[in-house]
Amino acid sequence: MKLLVTGGAGYVGSVCAAHLVTAGHDVTVLDDLSTGHPDAVPEGAQFVKGDLTEAAADVLAEGFDGVLHFAARSLVSESVQRPELYWSGNVVASLRLLEAMRLHGTPRLVFSSTAATYGEPEQVPIREDAPTRPTNPYGASKLAIDHMIGSYAVAHGLAATSLRYFNVAGAHGRFGERHTVETHLIPIVLQVAAGTRESVQIFGDDWPTADGTCVRDYIHVDDLAAAHVLALDHSETGRHAVYNLGSGTGFSVREVIEACRAVTGHPIPAVVAPRRGGDPAVLIASSEAMIGELGWRPERTDLATIVGDAWRFTREHQGV
Ligand code: UFG
């Protein structure tokens, strides 16, 4: 298929673009490089520098079979402080993209949604029919886009899938996580091992969990990318499917740090700090729908593999 990957110079977008090229698709990456990196565009993909509001319509005019939409702002704390960036950069820009797709008859969409659409869960593992009560503008903006996509499927026959990711981690070859402002646990812990940070803060050790630290469901970015390829292949005209994507196992912050110590051989000093605002205690996905309906099989679910791949990437990029 001829596919447009928005945000394909970012972390998840670049890994998915690489998987799509490997699967034999004709891939064009559209990215404004506001947070992405030009060298993250995989070999074999075309690259267009531009943003969704201006460039998407021109690119789609060439005629595409589908769009994988990753371009977004994705920092929870930034979304609380500057919500306008999220309503504009996520919601308005996605509306422009949907309109460009409608104008040019692009039939398929796979959208990068998030567990943050659910907010504080009543039950874990979280299924797709759980209440959606986002606790920050980031999650609310992604939920609004999910609703837009659903209405386009009904009204305009779009074949669409929203994939709600839990905690994405790991790397794929030379494609991995490198944010200018890093907020995610595993890359921060590995920065300590790499010597670019002195210690990691544990945001609270008095949570109602076994060791008092927050529990998250870490999904390897390769398993996530494989899910996108499946979602594209199974999309149906006029249907908006929503799937959660996690490994189904929870690991605490302390367990993650311990796994990083084992993989890197570094003592990784950790200090307990106050809780971070907006963190739920436990987030674990039920991915039963994705597994049962699309035959998805996550293969890299153990923490040592996930951290090991992230560590190899960190060493290559930081010259450790
Ligand atoms: N944490 C620390 N110290 C740090 C960084 C993180 O203790 O320096 C803790 C957090 O408090 C949290 C856990 O590690 O308990 C994981 O934090 P991340 O920032 O890595 O990930 P989040 O669970 O906050 O966020 C992820 C995605 C978001 C998404 C959210 C859904 O990255 O995009 O899940 O709630 F919105």
Phi, psi of 62 (to 5 degrees): -65, -20
Q: Which pLDDT value is given to residue 278?
A: 81
Residue range 214-273, pLDDT digits in tens: 999 999 999 999 999 999 999 999 999 999 999 999 999 999 999 999 999 999 999 999
Residue carrying structure tokens 């091992």 = 193
Please report the sign of the dihedral spanned by the C-alpha atoms of residue 88, residue 20, residue 4, residue 128. Answer: negative
Residue range 145-195, pLDDT digits in tens: 999 999 999 999 999 999 999 999 999 999 999 888 899 999 999 999 999
Q: Which pLDDT value is given to residue 319?
A: 62
Q: Ligand 1 in contact with 203 (CB < 6 A)?
A: yes
Q: How sure is the predictor about 15, in pLDDT bands with cuts at 50, 70 and 90? A: very high
Residue range 54-67, pLDDT digits in tens: 899 999 999 999 99
Contact 179, 35 (CB under 8 A): yes
Judged against a pLDDT cut of 90, whether residue 12 lies above it is answered with yes
Nearest-angstrom CA–CA distance, 83 and 20: 33
The count of residues in the chain is 320
Q: Residue 216 Cα, ligand 1 centroid: separation in angstroms?
A: 8
Q: Which pLDDT value is given to residue 110?
A: 98
Q: Ligand 1 in contact with 219 (CB < 6 A)?
A: no
Q: Which ligand 1 atom sits closest to the C-alpha of 184?
A: 20
Q: Print the SS3 string covering 57-75.
A: HHHHCCCCCEEEECCCCCC
Residue range 83-96, pLDDT digits in tens: 999 999 999 999 99
Task: Give the residue whose CA is nearest to atom 6 of ligand 1.
Answer: 185
Residue range 91-120, pLDDT digits in tens: 999 999 999 999 999 999 999 999 999 999
Q: Which pLDDT value is given to residue 180?
A: 82
Contact 169, 221 (CB under 8 A): yes
Q: Ligand 1 in contact with 190 (CB < 6 A)?
A: no
Determine the residue of 203, 211, 245, 283 to mutate for testing ligand 1's pocket, defined as the one with the most ligand atoms within 8 A of the Cβ atom: 203
Q: Which ligand 1 atom sits closest to the C-alpha of 76?
A: 36
Q: Residue 268 Cα, ligand 1 centroid: separation in angstroms?
A: 18
Least trusted range by pLDDT, from 61-65, 75-79, 265-269, 281-285: 75-79
Residue carrying structure tokens 């008095």 = 206
Task: Give the residue whose CA is nearest to atom 19 of ligand 1.
Answer: 184
Q: How sure is the predictor about 320, in pLDDT bands with cuts at 50, 70 and 90? A: low
Q: Residue 185 Cα, ligand 1 centroid: separation in angstroms?
A: 6
Q: Which pLDDT value is given to residue 179?
A: 82
Contact 15, 222 (CB under 8 A): yes
Q: Ligand 1 in contact with 27 (CB < 6 A)?
A: no
Determine the residue of 74, 126, 132, 167 to mutate for testing ligand 1's pocket, defined as the one with the most ligand atoms within 8 A of the Cβ atom: 167
Mean of the pLDDT values across residues 295-311?
96
Catalytic residues: 138
Omega prior to 131 cis, within 30 of 0: no
Q: Residue 274 Cα, ligand 1 centroid: separation in angstroms?
A: 14
Q: Ligand 1 in contact with 114 (CB < 6 A)?
A: yes
Q: Residue 141 Cα, ligand 1 centroid: separation in angstroms?
A: 18
